[in-house]
Amino acid sequence: MKKSLILAAGVIAAPTAASAGTITVTIPRIAVSEYHVPYLAAWIEPVGGGAARTLAVWYDVDKVGNEPGTKWLADLRTWWRKGGRSLKLPANGVSGATRAPGAHRIPIPANIKPGAYTLHVEAAREDGGRELVSQPLTIPAANGKASGKSELSAIVISAR
C-alpha cells in the first residue's frame, strides 16, 4: 500500500518538474449581480513568426448536449483565429475547467525550444467583457509581469 502512494506522488509531481517555469494568471473578482467565470486561453507565438502553441484553455468541459461548452470558445477571438479552432478538444494537459477568481498557475512546458516568444492570455466572460493581454517571453523563461484592466488582473511569468 505504501509503495503505491509513493508512486502516485511521483506521478503527480512529474508535470511540475518538467516545466520551464510558470505563468500565474489572476482572475479578478468583479462585483456584478450575475457573475460568470471567464473562458480563458493562454498561448505563445514565436516573435519571428510561426505556429501558435496553446498552453491552456479553460472552458465548461462538462457541458454537453445542444450547446456544449466548446460552442463559446470562439468568443476567445484572437486565440480562436490563431489556432484554437483547429485544436482537438479536450486536449490532454491543456484543457481544463473554468476557474474562479484568484491566482492560477499554468506550467510552461520544458520542451519549448529556446527563443523569443510572445505570451498571450485572453479571457471572455458571459454577460461580461473580453480582454487580451500580451507579454514578451524568453525561453529559457525570464521573469516578467503584465496586467489586465477588466477581465484579467496580474499575469506573472516565473522562471525555474
Distance from C-alpha of 22 to C-alpha of 19, rounded to nearest angstrom: 7
Q: Which fold has domain 2-159?
A: Immunoglobulin-like (2.60.40)
pLDDT band at 16 (very low <50, low <70, confident <90, very high): very low
pLDDT band at 18 (very low <50, low <70, confident <90, very high): confident
Q: Which three cell numbers stand for residue 22?
A: 510558470
Q: What pTM does this model have?
A: 0.84
